Amino acid sequence: MNRSVDAVIVGAGHNSLACALHLASKGWSVALFEQAAEAGGAVRSGDYTLPGFRHDWAAMNLSLFAGSAFFKAYGDVLAARGLEFVPVAKPFASAFPDGKWLGVCTDTAATTARIRGFSERDAGTWNQLLAAFPGEAEQIFALLGSPMRNHALAGFLFRLWRKRGTGGALDMGRFLMQTPRAWLGQTFESEHLQAMLGAWGMHLDFAPDIAGGALFPYLEGMAGQSFGMVIGKGGADTIIRAMQSEIEARGGSVECNAAVARILHADGQASGVELADGRQITARKAVIANVAPSALVRLTGGTGNEGFDRAMTGFEHAPGTMMIHLALDSLPDWAAGEELKTFAYVHLAPSLDQMAQTYAQAKAGLLPDEPVIVVGQPTVFDPSRAPEGKHVLWLQVRMVPGTIKSDAGGTITANDWAQAAEPMAVRALDILERYAPGTRGKILGQRIVPPTELEAENPNLVGGDQVCGSHHLAQHFLFRPARGHTDGSTPLTKLHLTGAAVWPGAGAGAGAGYLLARKLAGN
C-alpha cells in the first residue's frame, strides 16, 4: 500500500535514526526503510556465538555518541527509553612483542608513571599536552562539529587567528595536515608510546605515513586520559533501540527487511522511493539516503549532473576489516601483565613500521602477514554481556583487503573470502596467542565475519570498510563526500545524502544525521 510522509529515509543506521528523531521532534512525519533484518547498521549487538553472550557486531566505543551535540539535546528522552552507558576508566592499552605494555587510564598519575617507565621526557610532554588539551579541544571540536562550508571554515580560521595570532593559526593548520608518524616522532621519543597512540590512526584509515592523520592519535590519547571511554550497557545497540523507540512514540516508522529499489525523481526533483516489493512512498519534503555514495547513483539512475555522479562513483573506500567474535571461559592471560585484563581495548600493533607495512599490503590487495589486532574486552566493564564468570572478546583484524589478490604471508592460497576467512582468522588468533598464551583453550564459541559479510549485512561498508570511505585529506573536510556537498545536498532538489560518507564522517557521533536534520528543520 502506498503512503505519503514528510521525510523518507533510506537506511536505519544511527545517523538515520538521529536525523529522523530530530525531524519528528519538529513535527515532521518520518518513515525509515532498512534492507537488513534490524536497524542500526554497523551499531548492532547480538548473541553471535552462543546464547547469553552478547557481542557488538562492529562498533563498540560509544564515546563520540555520548559526547555529541545530538545526545546533549536528546539524552534525557533516550535514557527514558532505556539507553544506558557504562563508563570505562581504562580505555586502551598496547602489548608489545618484547613483553612490555603501555596503557592510558583516567588516573593521570598512573598513566604518567607508565610513560615515565619508557621515557622521563615523554612523561613531561604528556602532562604538557594534557594541560593544554581543554583549549585545543575547544578549537578542534568546534571545527569537527560545525557544518563544513566555505564560510564556516573561514570563520573557524578567523576565530583561531584572533585567539592565537598568525603563528598559532599556522601551527594548527600544519598539525591538521601532519602524518601520524611525523607528529608522534616530533612529540615523543619512546617508540612504544608512538606505537600505542599510532594504532588509533588505523581505526580511521590513517596509517603512519598518511597526511592528515596526526589528529586522531592525539585526540584519542588526550580524550582517553581526560574522559575515559563509554560503551553501551548490554551492547552498543542500546542507542539504536532507544532512538527507534522514541521515533515510533512520536509517530514515525522504522521498517526492516524493506530494501529500497530506487529513488523516484523527475524534472530535477526527488519525490519518494520505490521499495523492492513495489510499494511507493511519497516524500512531501525530503528523501534522505544514508547510503554509500556509489549507491546513490545506482538508486537514482543518475542525478543528471555528470560531475556529481562521477564524484560519487569515484568515492574511495578504506581497506576492509574482519571481525572475530569469541565467547570465552575466562579473559586472556596477557603475558605482558595481568593488568591488561582491566582495559577495554588492547591493541596488538607492535610498531609504526609494522602498521605501515600492514596498510600497504592491504591496499595492494594482499592479506597482511601481521595485521593489526584490536582486542575488545567489554565484559570487564559490563558483565551483563555474558553468563556469570564468562566473557566475550571482540576482535577487529585491521587492515585486510576487500578483494584478495594474494597473501603476503605466502601460506593462504585462496583469493576469495569464502575460503580465506578461516585461515586468516587462524593467523589473527595465532597473533593473539603469542601475546596471551592459552587463549585458544578458553574459546567456547567463535564467529568469523569477513569483509564480504560485513558488506552483505550493510552495503555502506563497501569491501568491509567500516568507516564508509577514506578520510584522507582529498576526501575530508570540504571534500566529504565532494566539494560543495558536505551538507548532504545533491543536484536533485529534496534529495539529501547522509551517513559516514558525509561530513563530519565516521564514528558513532551521529554528526552527519543531526546536522542535516537541523538544516532541514531550520534549527
- Does 157 score more than 70 pLDDT? no
Q: Exposed e or buried b for every residue in 98-132, given b needs 16+ CB within 10 A?
A: eeebbbbbbeeeebbebbeebbeebbebbbebbee
Q: Is the peptide bond before 399 cis (omega within 30 degrees of 0)?
A: yes
Instruction: Determine whether domain 3-50+57-84+235-315+469-521 maps to CATH 3.50.50.60.
Output: yes
For residues 288-301, average pLDDT = 98
Determine what percent of the chain is predicted with pLDDT higher than 90.
90
The predicted-structure confidence for 385-406, as pLDDT tens digits, reads as follows 999 999 999 999 999 999 999 9
pLDDT at residue 321, rounded to an integer? 98
More confident residue, 435 or 143: 435
- Does 150 score more than 80 pLDDT? no
Determine what percent of the chain is predicted with pLDDT higher than 70.
95
Please name the residue that has the C-alpha cell 530506487: 262
Residue 499's pLDDT band (cuts 50, 70, 90): very high
Residue spans of the domains in the chain: they are 3-50+57-84+235-315+469-521, 105-230, 316-457
pLDDT at residue 2, rounded to an integer? 84
For residues 195-223, average pLDDT = 95
- Does 153 score more than 70 pLDDT? no
- Does 200 score more than 90 pLDDT? yes
More confident residue, 242 or 204: 242
pLDDT at residue 139, rounded to an integer? 73
- Does 156 score more than 70 pLDDT? no
Question: pTM of the entire structure?
Answer: 0.95
Least confident of 114-118, 167-171, 305-309: 167-171
Q: Could you give the 3-state DSSP secondary structure of residue 8?
A: strand
85/239 Cα distance (integer angstroms) = 9
For residues 55-64, average pLDDT = 97
- Does 313 score more than 90 pLDDT? yes
Structural fold of domain 316-457 = Polyamine Oxidase; Chain A, domain 2 (3.90.660)
- Does 276 score more than 70 pLDDT? yes
The predicted-structure confidence for 347-356, as pLDDT tens digits, reads as follows 999 999 999 9
* CB contact at 8 A, 229 and 61: yes
pLDDT at residue 148, rounded to an integer? 62
Q: Exposed e or buried b for every residue in 36-75, given b needs 16+ CB within 10 A?
A: bebbbbbbbbbbbbbeebbbbbbbbbbbbbbebbbbebbb
- Does 140 score more than 90 pLDDT? no
Neighbouring C-beta atoms of residue 163, cutoff 10 Å? 12
For residues 247-268, average pLDDT = 98
Contacts of 77 (CB under 8 A, 6+ apart): 246
User: What separation in angstroms does the CA of 377 have from each of 47, 86, 87, 142, 233?
Assistant: 16, 13, 13, 32, 13
Residue 173's pLDDT band (cuts 50, 70, 90): confident
Q: Could you give the 3-state DSSP secondary structure of residue 202?
A: helix
The predicted-structure confidence for 438-459, as pLDDT tens digits, reads as follows 999 999 999 999 999 999 999 9
For residues 70-75, average pLDDT = 97
304/260 Cα distance (integer angstroms) = 20
464 secondary structure, DSSP code? G
